[in-house]
Structure 1
Amino acid sequence: MWKFSLNNAKNYKQLRAFYASDAKTATATTTEAQPTIIQMGTTTADVSTTKPPPATPLTLPEMPAISKSLETPSSVQTEKSVCPFDNVPGPQSLKVISQLWSYVPALSTEFTAGTLFQAMNLGKFFGNLLSWGGNAKFFQKFFNVYGPVVRLHGPFGGDVLLLSRPEHASIVFQSEGAQPVRACLDSVEKYRLQHRRLRQTGPILMSGPEWEKLHETLEKPLFNSPMQHFKTIDLICDQFVERVFSVRNLQDEMPKTFKNDTLKWCLECVCSVTLKRKLGFMDPTGLSPNSDPGQILEGVIGATEAIRKCEYGFHIWKFVKTPAWRSLVKKCDLINSILGKYVERAQSTLREKKDIKSMEDLSIIESLLLKDDILVEDVMTVMLDMLLIGANATAHSISFLLYHLSKAPGCQKKLYDEIMKQPKEITMDSLKNQPYLQACIKESMRLNPPIPILNRVLAKDAVIHKYFIPKGTYVLIAVHLANLREEYFEDAKTFRPERWLSQEISPLAQELQVFASMPFGHGPKSCQAKELAQMEIGLLINKLLKKFYIEYNYGELESSNSLLATPTKPLNFRFVDRV
């Protein structure tokens, strides 16, 4: 992949709109040297003499949906124009307070980020007073006032850097190395290290060599999961379709609890893959509260809500056992007690197996238990992460794909026609042969990403938008805002899957394609189960559209755009029989 130099930019259109928000900053910057985007490990001299090759058509899996108007890079400045970290703009009031309270390091960055999220939530209820209105608007307010890079000075000494542009995100991800640090879910970390006294925090929270080892251990089982478990997932999707038939009312409408049905479907898929057995979440007679799946469902819903409450706002639970903290402990303990039984059964099954011919005959849990350096507690954290993070993310994704298809009948018809051209029996090959389906999934996740905000701890010093950013800085990347910028996506707020099928892509669009839409994160810490999740979603959509025409008549459905994002209203879809 080649890089742009503004010395060579005369051969290309200048993107004025893209730099509109940076105009004032640009005029104040020194003109002694032209800004250059420099590839890591490449000198300025090397870049300035490099001529870009012509753009080549992209295949669908790598296709960016970036506006064709994006033809010039953002500025990463030469050494003479680099400004110190203290010059990064941000609210001055926070800077003054942070200087007064810098001697109290206990809350630090976590307090800053937590208070930020709490303010986002308060904005929903006091929108007129605070003029924030919602999460996306809250972030956008900072970017409108201070520019594309914003520094929030923590009142207790911790700083947070806010970013929303893909070229800035690329600098963060390209510098993170093989063992990235992602700072999030402090409440889950405390639960595991202090309450459960485990040796490590699990794949979502870990970093360093031990994370890399566990990551490599999980890679092959999760990579093989889509093909290995296709038939099982296919049966679970059939059960979901039957569930739709059984719970819709006389107007073909789903009940207000339909959100839980999507979560049950996700949990059944996760358990069938990890344990190689269906637990009965999709039982047509309903779930008994005392059954294993009933208790897991209760635990996941309760733990998810407790995590949201703990992670936002003042982290008082670090010092006092708050109701949210107590609920988190109770619900996670409940889930662990049930999962423990199935892990013990998996151990017994392995002892009885004298000859294991293929690892494909094993569940993910069994394959992990065979590893000498993996403890039972490590297996438990993997499963809990998949239930809490994975199932919630997949449920969010399928919910919004159904919503966007219901609001775009033309797209729904086009997808239905593509599905009906495939063989009657759905296979992995037939799913791969549905480019419009893949485009619909990508477009829905662009508009409503399951992970709307990515966070990292900067692994080494970097220069972002002419500012020097020191190693160890806590970074929040507002993915949901980058996805909605007209500079990157024409008609950005419209569900238009066709944008992913276009082959008229600018060279810079190719450069930024990975960072323009990151529904599964990016880099080594991106979701390892993304192929499995996409297979599950594609398979379920195939089955639903073959049976039903989908409608939604309750206005706009929004996402919480927060940690463990969720739809903000009931999913009262209409599933109308196709004639």
Structure 2
Amino acid sequence: MLRLSVKHGLRASSQLAATRNPELSSYVQQIESEWESAKPFTEVPGPTRWQLFRGFQKGGQYHQLEMDEMMRLFKKQFGDICLIPGLFGMPSTVFTFNQETFERVYRTEGQWPVRGGSEPVLHYRKNRKDGFFKDCVGLFSNGPQWGKERSAVNPVLMQHRNVAVYLKPMQRVNQQFVQRIREIRDPESEEVPGDFMETVRQLTFESVATVALDKELGLLRETNQPPEARKLFRNIEILMESFFVLGVRPSLYKYISTPTYRKFSRAMDEIFDTCSMYVNEAIERINRNSAEGNSKDHKSVLEQLLQIDRKFAIVMAMDMLMGGVDTTSTAIVGLLLNLSKNPEKQKKLREEVLSKLPSTDRDFTLEDMKSLPYLRAFIKESLRVYPVTFGNTRSAGTDVVLNGYRIPKGTHLMMSNSFLLKDEGLYPRAKEFIPERWLRQKGAGENSSEVLMDKSISPFIYLPFGFGPRMCVGKRIVDLELELTVANLVRNFQIEFNYPAENPFKSSFVYMPNIPLKFKFTDVKY
């Protein structure tokens, strides 16, 4: 009976794929032909539930390991694929470290790709007493409801024409960040304090807020920071601190309200209250401007979301703040480290930026941003050297064969690519920071892109923003934020870091700085 249902599912998937995309059809047909000879799911290697539970206890092999350390151990113990059983209501997850499996998963993910890892948020929203999220769970959800909400937000956040809407406000925030660096650096050493990550997070928080809430919250000011903005900022911090404990480590929070979950839930309550307040203020501001005839040429992102639905706008604001602060902050710290560790690359980047914008008095235009290829290559290489997270999650969109094992539809998967990004066989001179590998340049000797990049490399290894329908909805916002930040920093400062930086990040749910960030910012002389 099981075999019949599996064959029927594969055949249905193949027919659907053939209708939409012949290339996908060949993938599913290949999987169908492999299924009979594949090993059963029960034989996928991995620890037992007891071994896993004991391993997380004090003295156990997994106790207090960071996420990438744990994955490295799994790979060493079990190979390119392993099954990690779920504990206390968490789903079992197949970890895979092989580039061929990534492609198979993505090519068969279906119309509504299912992404795990957000169970704490979904649990909170499902159990919120007022039922606010009942018919609008947000982009952390899955299935048809996710598809409906993603289809509504894509025209607002993913369309290139909307970049112009938040270019100016994001540049104002960026200028405040540059000024803040000058205020907090030591006048003699020109170094910023070791807790500089806090200032970087304020930058990314403000940048997201200008888009999600149509408001500059004032956290980059030295004084008069609004208390409600500080509270929202702190609650986003608490949220991310709790997320790893609840979403990765064994936890009983779905059965009893643990201390970590209560802390998480309070933070979620306050994030909801504050975002609702800011959205209501925005509605009043928009209505007042309209009545006074002060309407803008282009509607802000928040105004466009409010045209869909007020509740939808609140949920999207929450989701953007939760998903866009820590990840982007980590990316910026990685960029700063690469700028400081590679002064010749920093010089080359500064020359490109100044060739387009020689004066710090003028803001960038969209045309300026389009003509900075080395800047984009620099960012790409930085995200390879210092990835923001250890991989991407999905649930199998159909019955699929991975590494010779049958993986049933709906199985939770973790595709870890962080090891592959440092693989010399895929990225020659992988330990070196070489933006040139992302530029199309031939006949340039050892620094040509043909030499620095394996021609047969899978496009499914380097996916900093994910892939397909579940690609990061804020990709355009983050792209612009990173480009503006790096461009503004190099045209204002010479950046140095005069301390050891062998292991600058630790991994929880995302990579976070593990060392004091005492960067030196010296004003560029013109």
TM-score tier by shorter-chain length is 0.7 to 0.9
TM, length-normalised to structure 2: 0.83
Query: Counterpart of 2:70?
Result: 138
Preserved contact between residue 202 and residue 219 of structure 2 (Cα < 8 Å): yes
Preserved contact between residue 88 and residue 251 of structure 2 (Cα < 8 Å): no
What SS is found at the alignment partner of 1:241? helix
Whether 1:568 and 2:501 are equivalent positions in the alignment is no
Shift of the alpha carbon at 1:444?
1.2
Whether 1:160 and 2:93 are equivalent positions in the alignment is yes
Matches within 5 A, 1:33-182: 39-42=23-26, 78=34, 81-91=37-47, 94=48, 97=50, 119=56, 134-154=66-86, 158-182=91-115
Output the amino acid matched with 2:521. F
Output the amino acid matched with 2:489. L
Output the amino acid matched with 2:271. I
Shift of the alpha carbon at 1:209?
2.1
Query: Counterpart of 1:30?
Result: none
Preserved contact between residue 113 and residue 470 of structure 2 (Cα < 8 Å): yes
Preserved contact between residue 139 and residue 149 of structure 2 (Cα < 8 Å): no
Query: Counterpart of 2:213?
Result: 275
CA distance in 2, matches of 1:184, 1:531: 23
Distance 1:266 1:206, change over 3 A: same
Preserved contact between residue 132 and residue 141 of structure 1 (Cα < 8 Å): no
Shift of the alpha carbon at 1:84?
2.2
List per-residue Cα deviations over 1:95-115 (Å, max 9, x = no partner): 7x59xxxxxxxxxxxxx7xx7
Preserved contact between residue 76 and residue 466 of structure 1 (Cα < 8 Å): no
Whether 1:208 and 2:146 are equivalent positions in the alignment is no
What SS is found at the alignment partner of 2:460? helix
Query: Counterpart of 1:70?
Result: none
Distance 1:79 1:461, change over 3 A: closer
Shift of the alpha carbon at 1:218?
1.2
Match of 1:541 among 480, 486, 496: 486
Shift of the alpha carbon at 1:247?
0.1
CA distance in 2, matches of 1:403, 1:338: 34
List per-residue Cα deviations over 1:174-221 (Å, max 9, x = no partner): 111121111112111122111253215643321222211211221122
CA distance in 1, matches of 2:163, 2:196: 26
What SS is found at the alignment partner of 2:262? helix
What SS is found at the alignment partner of 2:485? helix
Deviates more, 1:356-365 or 1:464-473: 356-365
CA distance in 2, matches of 1:150, 1:510: 29
Query: Counterpart of 1:437?
Result: 375
Preserved contact between residue 76 and residue 465 of structure 1 (Cα < 8 Å): no
Between the aligned residues of both structures, percent identity stands at: 27
Count the aligned residue pairs. 484
Output the amino acid matched with 1:575. F
What SS is found at the alignment partner of 2:428? coil
Shift of the alpha carbon at 1:276?
2.2
Stretches of structure 1 that go unaligned for 5 or more consecutive residues are 1-37, 48-74, 99-111
CA distance in 2, matches of 1:192, 1:238: 37
CA distance in 2, matches of 1:356, 1:514: 50
Query: Counterpart of 2:390?
Result: 452
Shift of the alpha carbon at 1:248?
0.4
Preserved contact between residue 238 and residue 264 of structure 2 (Cα < 8 Å): yes
CA distance in 1, matches of 2:109, 2:294: 39
Preserved contact between residue 164 and residue 366 of structure 2 (Cα < 8 Å): yes
TM, length-normalised to structure 1: 0.76
Matches within 5 A, 1:306-455: 306-349=242-285, 351=287, 353=290, 361-371=298-308, 374=309, 376-424=310-358, 425=362, 426-455=364-393
CA distance in 1, matches of 2:296, 2:466: 28
Alignment root-mean-square deviation, CA: 3.2
Preserved contact between residue 192 and residue 200 of structure 1 (Cα < 8 Å): no
Preserved contact between residue 427 and residue 454 of structure 2 (Cα < 8 Å): no
Distance 1:154 1:338, change over 3 A: closer
Shift of the alpha carbon at 1:439?
1.0
Preserved contact between residue 212 and residue 316 of structure 2 (Cα < 8 Å): no
Query: Counterpart of 1:101?
Result: none
CA distance in 2, matches of 1:465, 1:233: 45
Match of 1:186 among 100, 103, 119: 119
Query: Counterpart of 1:473?
Result: 411
List per-residue Cα deviations over 1:28-70 (Å, max 9, x = no partner): xxxxxxxxxx95312899x9xxxxxxxxxxxxxxxxxxxxxxx
Preserved contact between residue 90 and residue 152 of structure 1 (Cα < 8 Å): yes
Output the amino acid matched with 2:283. Q
Output the amino acid matched with 1:323. P
Stretches of structure 2 that go unaligned for 5 or more consecutive residues are 1-21, 442-448
Distance 1:368 1:505, change over 3 A: same
Output the amino acid matched with 2:140. L
Match of 2:154 among 202, 206, 219: 219
List per-residue Cα deviations over 1:104-146 (Å, max 9, x = no partner): xxxxxxxx7xx79x95xx9xx979x769965334322322343
Output the amino acid matched with 1:89. P
CA distance in 1, matches of 2:67, 2:344: 30
CA distance in 2, matches of 1:525, 1:217: 14
Shift of the alpha carbon at 1:77?
8.2
List per-residue Cα deviations over 1:207-263 (Å, max 9, x = no partner): 222211211221122134422111111111111100000000121111123111111
CA distance in 2, matches of 1:43, 1:283: 54
What SS is found at the alignment partner of 2:377? helix
Whether 1:517 and 2:462 are equivalent positions in the alignment is yes
CA distance in 2, matches of 1:254, 1:202: 40
Output the amino acid matched with 1:149. I
CA distance in 1, matches of 2:65, 2:318: 33
Shift of the alpha carbon at 1:383?
1.0
